[in-house]
Amino acid sequence: MASPPSKLFLLFLLSLLSPLSLSYSDRFESWCKQYGKTYATDEEKLARFRVFEQNAAYVEAHNSAADSGYTLALNAFADLTPHEFRSTRTGLTGLKNCGSSSNGNGRVFTGFGAGFRVPDSVDWRKQGAVTKVKDQGSCGACWSFSATGAMEGINQIVTGTLISLSEQELIDCDKSYNMGCNGGLMDYAYKWVIKNKGIDSEDDYPYKAADGNCLSNKVNRRVVTIDGYTDILPNREDLLLQAVATQPVSVGICGSDYAFQLYSSGIFNGPCSTSLDHAVLIVGYGSQNGQDYWIIKNSWGTSWGMSGYMYMARNGNSSKGVCGINMMASYPTKTSPNPPPSPGPGPTKCSILTYCPAGSTCCCTWRVLGLCLSWSCCGLESAVCCKDTTYCCPQDYPVCDTTRKQCLKGNGNTTSVKGIDRENSFVKAGWWNDILAM
């Protein structure tokens, strides 16, 4: 027998009887289906509906007013308040003085000289120097996406090859100054890549939208290198324009204001503050009906803006630019070739004689007096070996539920994935050489 609806949910239904709420409720249900939104409780759904209702009213008021040059829409973030949105979708940190873009180590760009001619328009997407729009999810790692985007661009310009680079490697391994999903700066990311002598590809070190452990075997697989990085003098739009004419450029902006959250199309000109809290990539510029604009690549997926992009007004009245876009800009430099492909990883060593395939985790299946006499293999790196000796769990689902053969997100967290069956280990050819080398 079905349980009776909660009192709060009945109040929710009654609240929808007004014509205005009824209109919004239909749109809310359609919106939930469009973006695959579900809520754990009736209370949560009611709270999200109320936020959606407020956002819908704001969108309608903006779009029905005098032409502002851009439109808003109920995108995938329409059930979030501006505060909630800011806490999960931005992530530019470490700025004690937003008027300075340099951390003291980057070369400062002062222009190419009087003989440099700036083209009327530039779009690095058309030159093949921009990868697909990515989605940072609920991880404040916008800085890593801006940095990889700039490195992807200069690498394609120099080598002719477009390679999608690993944001996750920066999140997991660049810990000296940056803070993973809790924020960071692009210059520090460039500094780390230079120190590491390169960065891995996204295909090899994929994005997980969460902080993780640095995978040492992958951090040494360097597919793209950079030689340095350059900071553009703050509040100098003329210099920023010259730089973008030669390559994609990383910038800090204020990306948490209401209109920015719900932006859909057109040339965005605010309102927004100049308190920098988000990082994006400028991939070009142009003009439309007398209005100059930047082409901004964001990291919020393709459901935001114009398939993940924004046109942002330039040549305005403020030297800081719309949303502070002229205040903190930098780009990586590159002239040297990339390193040759790294050799494929060898097998994982479990003991003197026993190995597992590359990228696997060794799991002990029989232990005597603290010595493992038999090994099996889990086909994941840094996996958790479950006590039943037959399966294992990914590192981001580390709790073994041996009764159901499931892997849980955490104790008390019912989010789970199916456990992974272990495989047999093997003895590597030439094992006697390993013994002789002891």
**Of the candidates 108, 106, 189, the residue with the CA atom closest to the CA atom of residue 152:** 189
- Model confidence at 52, pLDDT cuts 50, 70, 90, reads very high
The pLDDT score that the predictor gives to residue 227 is 97
DSSP string for residues in 260-315? HHTEEEEEE--S--S---EEEEEEEEEEETTEEEEEEE-SB-TTSTBTTEEEEE-S
The pLDDT score that the predictor gives to residue 377 is 94
User: What strands, in cross-sheet order, belong to the sheet with 354-356?
Assistant: 348-349, 354-356, 426-427
Q: What is the pLDDT of residues 344-400, one digit of tens each?
A: 778 888 988 899 988 889 999 999 998 999 999 998 888 999 988 889 998 888 999
CATH 3.90.70.10 describes domain 91-333 = yes
The pLDDT score that the predictor gives to residue 18 is 45
The pLDDT score that the predictor gives to residue 95 is 46
Reduced DSSP (H G I as helix, E B as strand, rest coil) percent helix, strand, coil of the chain, to 5: 30, 25, 50
CB 252 within 8 A of CB 92: yes
Q: What is the pLDDT of residues 290-326, one digit of tens each?
A: 999 999 999 999 999 999 999 999 999 999 999 999 9
Q: How far apart are CA 237 and CA 325, in angstroms?
A: 9
Residues designated catalytic? 142, 278, 298
- Model confidence at 13, pLDDT cuts 50, 70, 90, reads very low
The pLDDT score that the predictor gives to residue 21 is 52
The pLDDT score that the predictor gives to residue 20 is 47
Q: What is the pLDDT of residues 206-265, one digit of tens each?
A: 999 999 889 887 888 999 999 999 999 999 999 999 999 999 999 999 998 999 999 999
Query: Looking at the predicted structure, is the pLDDT value of residue 19 above 50?
Result: no
- Tokens representing residue 342 in the block: 């790294």
The pLDDT score that the predictor gives to residue 44 is 93
pTM score of the predicted model? 0.78
* Region of poorest pLDDT, from 61-75, 193-207, 404-418: 404-418
